Amino acid sequence: MTAHLLRTPLHALHVELGAKMVPFAGYDMPVNYPGGILAEHRHCRDFAALFDVSHMGQLQLRGGDAAAALETLVPVDVIDLPVGKQRYAFFTNAAGGLLDDLMITRRADHLFLVVNAACKEADQRHLITHIGHRCTMVPLPERALLALQGPAAVTALAQLDPGVADLTFMTGGDFTLAGASCFVTRSGYTGEDGFEISVPADAAERLARAMLALPDVKPAGLGARDTLRLEAGLCLYGHDINETTTPVEAGLTWAIQKVRRPGGARAGGYPGAAVIESQLALGPKIKRVGLSGLEKVPVREGAPIVDAQGHKLGHVTSGTLGPTVFEPVAMAYLAANHAIAHHEVYAEVRGKRLPMRVAPMPFTPHRYHR
């Protein structure tokens, strides 16, 4: 039953295009279209795929103190973020765990945040509770979010507004697309070049149809989005990261700028700082790693990882048969002394032990336009 599921502004278009709809984060979402996940994945790697990500939470933080206030909730440099630049961040809890990961873009008069669908209500409460006295949180439910991803994304989108081609990775600006005023960032969740487009909900279908009418652009659903992001080594909240994993364990310390680390001008001052700073200094007991399978059998989330003697070393958090790399790929948390490149471990799948090797991520190279 989908009676109680929320619908994005593109719901009717998905149905018209023959999408298989599934419940996801409280929404009725397309998992794939008639061509199938594999074709959608490959089309994104070779051309351009259009994803509906309107289930994500979009919001603004307004007020002169917004950047400094947000820094009390994330271990990331927000104050020094220039206008038009975007940064990856995460909310932490008192134990150093991850409450959600998000994107922050500095606009001329506010911060624009995109948060995960399943976390958006909790994130909004978190912001209001902790920094609502210092800035104003403005949710944007009247806006949709579309992602155009792949090597042909820039030539396609530039046909609607040539100015988008001037954006570089993790920058954003205002553009008019199919007659709608949009905020566009050159970013995404596939490892490919591409754009995320915040558009008024009432113009979303018109814009989506305009993009799908362009050469090289086809629709893609959540299935391909998941296989693409896994090949790109990107975490999925609630699976590869959650409130019990720290950014150090998750291998996300690249997102903690020097100014927020011990010895930096604005070190600490966020929830769980003592735990995270201790792990930065001493190293974590477990680490997120990439695994590539040595046999052509996919290894799924939850599979235990053991050593040759059967001793448990960790567990898989995401896994698939990588359509680009033609081998099973997975992310897992392993005991730190086993999280060594090329180290061989075993995944237990239906009573069998499948050999896997600790592999560097991403599994397929990122192709961002820097």
- Within this chain, do residues 258 and 336 fall inside the same structural domain, yes or no? no
Q: Among 263, 282, 301, which residue terminates a domain?
A: 282
Confidence category of residue 2, pLDDT binned at 50, 70, 90: very low
The per-residue pLDDT for range 239-250, each reduced to its tens digit, is 999 999 999 999
Residue 350: predicted pLDDT: 93
Indicate the pLDDT class of residue 166, thresholds 50, 70 and 90.
Answer: very high
**What's the pLDDT at 1?**
43
For residue range 102-150, list pLDDT tens digits in order. Answer: 999 999 999 999 999 999 999 999 999 999 999 999 999 999 999 999 9
Helix axis angle, 222-231 relative to 37-46, nearest 10°?
Answer: 50
Residue 365 within any structural domain of the chain: no
Statement to judge: residues 50 and 178 lie in one domain: yes
For the chain, give the mean pLDDT. 97
CATH number for the domain harbouring residue 297 = 2.40.30.110
Section 310-320 average pLDDT = 97
pLDDT of residue 265: 98
Give the per-residue pLDDT at 64: 87
DSSP state letters, 293-353: ESSS----TT-EEE-TT--EEEEEEEEEEETTTTEEEEEEEEEGGG--TT-EEEEEETTEE
pLDDT of residue 3: 58
The sign of the CA dihedral 176, 178, 183, 188 is negative
Residue 367 belongs to a domain? no
Q: What is the DSSP string of 21-74?
A: EEEETTEEEEEE-TT-HHHHHHHHHHSEEEEE-TTSEEEEEESTTHHHHHHTT-
What CATH number is attached to the domain comprising 162?
3.30.1360.120
The candidate with the shortest Cα–Cα distance to 270, out of 247, 302, 293, is 247
Task: Tell me: do 180 and 67 sit in the same domain.
Answer: yes
- Enclosing domain of residue 42: 1-282
Q: Which of 225, 257, 282 is the last residue of a domain?
A: 282
The reply to whether 364 falls in a domain is no
